[in-house]
Structure 1
Amino acid sequence: MPPSELPSVAGVFSRRQCLKTAESIATVQESTGAIPWFTGGHTDPWDHVESAMALSVAGLYDEAVAAYRWSASTQNADGSWPRQFRSGVVESADIDVNFCAYLAVGVWHHLLRSGDLDFARELWPSVRAGLDFVVALQLPRGVIPWTLGTDEALVTGNSSMYQSLGCGLALAERLGDPQPLWASARHRLGAALRDDPGACTPKDRYSMDWYYPILGGALRGPAAHARIDASWSRFVVGNIGIRCVSDRPWVTGAETCELVLALDAMGEHSRAGSLFAAMQHLREQDGSYWTGLVFADGKRWPEERTTWTGAAVVLAADALSRATPANGIFRDLLPDAVPVTSR
């Protein structure tokens, strides 16, 4: 592909660096298409999709297609996925409900980036089964439990599922297969995230709980700005990134880049660009990224360069640079204006 189609951020992240980061992810990819956290590590269905999205951004379509086909091939009959795989074997058969929705984001993103409608049709049955599984679990208050056998719902997972439903609806519209139950479920979920804070168990020590309602698209406008400003000083650390946990001296690259994406979606381009530049100290020469830094003692921790951290960097660079047709995957969501209907 022409180099001009690759993301770049002036003075911070070049097109060549973008490609190198995507290639560092592809190097870890297994022959089955699975993308583990690192070579020899485990694969989970959510981070696997995020890594595949980065491959698509960089134009590594064959590798991205293999990743999405792996997702389809490992799906359970009920539309769910096991939580964790290692070297082709299910390591944990437990179900994380949010993991079962995220394929919709990846497939919609790949279609936006590549224009490959035939491949979207191929993956559509898996996307549809995953979202049907998720929607069937929705609770009366509109939120969705984080796992089977519980009524406990979490802000981060529900915010991600809100985005997944939006991408699934966009894909359904493009493929001519309307899903009105998804639209109703998304509307109810968005209302719960905005107006019913007690519907989810608070995890406000974690930065993800802070910015995910914005990243997933449920919160925009003045409420989003107020939310970000309220906890900025708790999580943002000078010029090195953001904390994963508010009371720990640890900044992490993926969370920093996800906040970049949330800020970009809000129109906060200056703060987004500054944070993107701030986390580049985690980059290695091969294009991979360390997961985090304990700034109290200057040590990398954990001692892993994770595929999903590199993926978050690539996705943030695409959003900031508006380089590919998929750059708005976290910004340009369907409006949430569907009336509540009985189910």
Structure 2
Amino acid sequence: MIGREEAVRTALSIAAIQQDDGGVPWPEGHVDAWNHVECLMAMTVAGLAEPVRRGYEWLARHQRDDGSWPMKVAGGVAVERGGESNHAAYVAAGLWHHHLVTGDQDTTERHWPMVKAALDYVVGLQTGRGEIVWERDARGRAAAYALLTGCSSIHQGLRCGVLLAEHLGDPQPHWELAADRLAHVLAAHPEAFADKSRYSMDWYYPVLGGAVRGTQAFELLEREWATFVVPGLGIRCVSDQPWVTGAETCELVLALDALGDRERAARLFADAQHLRHEDGSYWTGWQFANGRHFPHERSGYTAAAVVLAADALQGLSGGSAVFRDICAPSVSPSDPGLCGCTPARA
């Protein structure tokens, strides 16, 4: 287990890679809004107010008129112009988390219009059944399919947006309705989403994003536990490769913590510490068949997931329960055939 001092060092490793314009990049150099927000959340936990302020200003500058962000920004320029729904939704999670940690009402109010535009963009991509397609392309055309991991994260973003709206006295009931419909599809209709089941994120994200909790969540995690969890090392990124990754491992830690399974959460978190570098940053992953780091990089988003997991387990900040407390208010039918939905696929 790492303590506050180690968590701050890890957050400082994120601040060290922040670009002059405030963006927090991938190792390849581009910035996307989702990973950028995750890194801002980690730096918020550590009290790094100035890098976080610059990061939210980056989001405000790069948001487009429709409420979205480009998929990739490099050198301040959009290099992939489509707009992902989960990127836009996560800004709400970030701002609510910032408010929980800092109580900074001025920042919350200043960026509230950004969140409103972002979540309205998101709900504009919801289908009649309830899933939210993954992008609108550079020409404005909506994608033909939805992603389970992305929609699970969107569910959290919508719930955080509803809480922000209530706090600011500006209710947005259409977001709550969208979140309820999305939660049902995530819990009862996994066939509604493109098959990405080889990725561990599609396994645990419905729990992490709050759409699936309780007995159903424990059953879901148990089904693929042996497929993805490598004892002593963490969890695989994909089921068919001997490769564990720190970000996915720490996200599963957050999912387990949200269920109250703190013993397994703490054990997995300890397993991931072999990826820690002496400067507090984290290697992205470990290829355990070859015995080497893969890819050979230390990533800001991995460090961010570590800090958020440490916060959840140890209560380092007022935002430590942001994943634990965001969940669907009702349980979906155990028999999807009873809900009356149009089947997603034959």
If the length of structure 2 is used for normalisation, what is the TM-score? 0.92
Question: What amino acid is the match of 1:274?
Answer: R
Q: 1:245 aligns with which of 235, 238, 250?
A: 238
**Alpha carbons of structure 1 residues 228 and 335: separation in structure 2 relative to 1, 3 Å:** closer
User: Which residue of structure 1 lines up, in the alignment, with residue 152 of structure 2?
Assistant: 159
Measure, in 2, the Cα distance between the counterparts of 1:62 and 1:109.
16
Measure, in 2, the Cα distance between the counterparts of 1:282 and 1:330.
23
Q: 1:61 aligns with which of 37, 49, 54?
A: 49
Q: Which moved more, 1:93-102 or 1:313-322?
A: 93-102
User: Which residue of structure 2 lines up, in the alignment, with residue 32 of structure 1?
Assistant: 21
Measure, in 1, the Cα distance between the counterparts of 2:235 and 2:330.
33
Q: 1:215 aligns with which of 208, 213, 216?
A: 208
Q: Deviations over 1:65-105 (max 9, x none)?
A: 11011111100101011000112221211221111111000
Q: 2:301 aligns with which of 290, 297, 308?
A: 308
User: Which residue of structure 1 lines up, in the alignment, with residue 319 of structure 2?
Assistant: 326
Aligned residues: CA RMSD:
1.2
User: Which residue of structure 1 lines up, in the alignment, with residue 112 of structure 2?
Assistant: 124
Conserved? CA contact 1:170–1:334, under 8 Å: no
For the residue of structure 2 that corresponds to 1:28, the secondary structure is coil
Q: Deviations over 1:115-148 (max 9, x none)?
A: 0011000000000000000001100110000112
Measure, in 2, the Cα distance between the counterparts of 1:135 and 1:245.
30
Conserved? CA contact 2:133–2:143, under 8 Å: yes
In structure 1, runs of 5+ residues without a counterpart are 1-11, 339-343
Conserved? CA contact 1:190–1:336, under 8 Å: no
Q: Deviations over 1:301-339 (max 9, x none)?
A: 11110000000000000000022110001001265359x
Alignment pair present for 1:226 and 2:219: yes
Alignment pair present for 1:19 and 2:8: yes
Alignment pair present for 1:235 and 2:224: no
User: Which residue of structure 2 lines up, in the alignment, with residue 84 of structure 1?
Assistant: 72
Question: What amino acid is the match of 2:305?
Answer: A
User: Which residue of structure 2 lines up, in the alignment, with residue 9 of structure 1?
Assistant: none
Shift of 1:61: 1.3
User: Which residue of structure 1 lines up, in the alignment, with residue 252 of structure 2?
Assistant: 259
Q: Deviations over 1:261-295 (max 9, x none)?
A: 00000111000000000010111111110100100
Shift of 1:15: 1.9
Conserved? CA contact 1:43–1:86, under 8 Å: yes
In structure 2, runs of 5+ residues without a counterpart are 137-141, 332-346
Measure, in 1, the Cα distance between the counterparts of 2:208 and 2:328.
15
Measure, in 1, the Cα distance between the counterparts of 2:78 and 2:296.
24
Where does 1:291-306 land on structure 2 (aligned, <5 Å)? 291-306=284-299
Shift of 1:205: 0.6
Q: 1:94 aligns with which of 48, 70, 82?
A: 82
User: Which residue of structure 2 lines up, in the alignment, with residue 6 of structure 1?
Assistant: none
Measure, in 1, the Cα distance between the counterparts of 2:296 and 2:208.
27
Conserved? CA contact 2:247–2:302, under 8 Å: yes
Shift of 1:217: 0.2
User: Which residue of structure 1 lines up, in the alignment, with residue 94 of structure 2?
Assistant: 106
User: Which residue of structure 1 lines up, in the alignment, with residue 344 of structure 2?
Assistant: none
Aligned length: 326
Alignment pair present for 1:70 and 2:70: no
User: Which residue of structure 1 lines up, in the alignment, with residue 337 of structure 2?
Assistant: none
User: Which residue of structure 2 lines up, in the alignment, with residue 276 of structure 1?
Assistant: 269
Conserved? CA contact 2:40–2:94, under 8 Å: yes
Measure, in 2, the Cα distance between the counterparts of 1:119 and 1:150.
33
Shift of 1:202: 2.1
Question: What amino acid is the match of 1:145?
Answer: V
Conserved? CA contact 2:156–2:327, under 8 Å: no
For the residue of structure 2 that corresponds to 1:150, the secondary structure is coil
Shift of 1:199: 1.3
Q: Which runs of 4+ in 1 moved over 3 A?
A: none
Q: Deviations over 1:34-55 (max 9, x none)?
A: 10123x6111110000000000
Identity of aligned residues (%): 52
Measure, in 1, the Cα distance between the counterparts of 2:150 and 2:159.
14
**Alpha carbons of structure 1 residues 154 and 99: separation in structure 2 relative to 1, 3 Å:** same
Measure, in 1, the Cα distance between the counterparts of 2:133 and 2:108.
28
Shift of 1:237: 0.5
Q: Which moved more, 1:258-267 or 1:84-93?
A: 84-93
Alignment pair present for 1:147 and 2:135: yes
Question: What amino acid is the match of 1:83?
Answer: M
Conserved? CA contact 2:209–2:326, under 8 Å: no
